[in-house]
Amino acid sequence: MPLSGEAIRLMNYIDDVSVTLRRILTGVATLDDEERALVSAHLSQASPSAQDVLDALKGK
């Protein structure tokens, strides 16, 4: 079954998020412990999360 334009668009968004996460991982090496803790807390509070998206895709 061919994918709809919307499905392809969403998959491209996921690819963009993956690129952003790779950039974040590269930057982590430059942070001191306090900065790591602050960035970690910020990421933990980010909403919606990847898990929220997975739950929506699974129909939860």
Q: pTM score, two decimals? A: 0.80
pLDDT given at position 50: 93
pLDDT given at position 56: 96
pLDDT given at position 42: 98
pLDDT given at position 1: 84
Is the confidence at residue 60, as pLDDT, over 90? no
Is the confidence at residue 36, as pLDDT, over 80? yes
Task: Tell me whether residue 53 is exposed, middle or buried, using C-beta atoms within 10 angstroms of its C-beta: 0 to 12, 13 to 18, 19 or more.
Answer: middle
